[in-house]
Amino acid sequence: MRFTSQTSSDGVTEQFFTLDEIPGVLWTPDDAPGTRPLILLGHGGGQHKTAPTIVSQARRYAAEGFAVVAIDAPNHGDRPKDEEFGRVVAEMRAGMASGENPGVAVAGMHGHLAGRSVADWRAVLTEVQRLDRVGVGPVGYCGMSMGCGLGIPLVAAEPRIRAAVLGLLGVYGLAEEAARVTVPVRFLMQWDDRLVPRDQGLALFDALASPQKTLHVNPGAHGDVPSFEMDSALRFLARHLT
C-alpha cells in the first residue's frame, strides 16, 4: 500500500492511497494510534470513492472514532474502463430504455463487477488492518444501490465483517449470496423507488439469512434517503462493532 497524499481538518485525517491498481481513501481520527473499528464504504453506480455522500459519511464516522475506507469499484472513478464493461452498461441502458425490468439489467452489470470487487476489498482490508492507526479490530460494511450489489457478495464471503448496512436494491442475481449473509443487517428501502420495485427490495431483505435484520422504509425516490438514516446507521454499526 502506497500513500499518495495526506490532509487533516476538523479532527479527521484523510489519506489517499493505491494498492496495486486499486485507488482508495482512508479516514481516521487525528493523532489516535491503536486498534479501532473499521467501516468499509461502498459507493453507488457511476460514483467513486470521493463522491460527496461518501466523504461526508466517512468524515462523520471518523469523527466518532472509527477508521473508514472507500475504494473505487472496478471501472469507476480513477480506474481504467474496459471494453466489456462498456458493452454491459450499453446493454443495460438499452434494456431499460425499451421497458425491460431494470432489476435484471442492473443485476447483470453488478454480476460483471462483483468477483473483482470482492477480491479488491479483501486485499485492501488486509493491508489497512496492518496500519498502526487501524489494527485488527471489528469490521463493518455500508453500501447502497451498487454498493449493496457488490457488498452482499463481499459480506457473504468475508468472515471479518461483523455487521452491514445495505439497501436500495432488489433481489435479482443476489438471492444465493444473500442466503449466506448471517451478520446483523440494517436494510434501507425507498417506497417510491422507480429503479427498485418494492416487491424486489422486500424479496432481497427476506433472502438475507441474518437472524438480526431490520427493515427501514422511507417515502421518496431512489436517491432521497433521509439524512437521519445515516445517523441511525452509525448507531447501528457502533452497537455491533464497539
Q: Which pLDDT does position 34 carry in this prediction?
A: 86
Count of Cβ atoms closer than 10 Å to residue 212 Cβ: 11
State the average pLDDT over residues 180-195: 96
**Confidence band, pLDDT 50/70/90 cuts, at residue 4:** very high
Joined grid coordinates for residue 177 = 449470496
- The DSSP annotation for 162-225 comes to EEEEEES--STTTHHHHTT--S-EEEEEETT-SSS-HHHHHHHHHH---SSEEEEEESS-TT--
3-state DSSP assignment of residue 98: coil
Euclidean distance between CA atoms 142 and 241, whole angstroms: 13
The CA angle 28-145-205, to the nearest 5 degrees, is 105
Q: Which pLDDT does position 92 carry in this prediction?
A: 74
Q: Which pLDDT does position 83 carry in this prediction?
A: 80
- With 90 as the cut, is the pLDDT of residue 5 above it? yes
Q: Which pLDDT does position 103 carry in this prediction?
A: 77
Instruction: Find the length of the chain.
Output: 242
State the average pLDDT over residues 234-238: 96
The counts of H helices and E strands in the chain are 7, 9
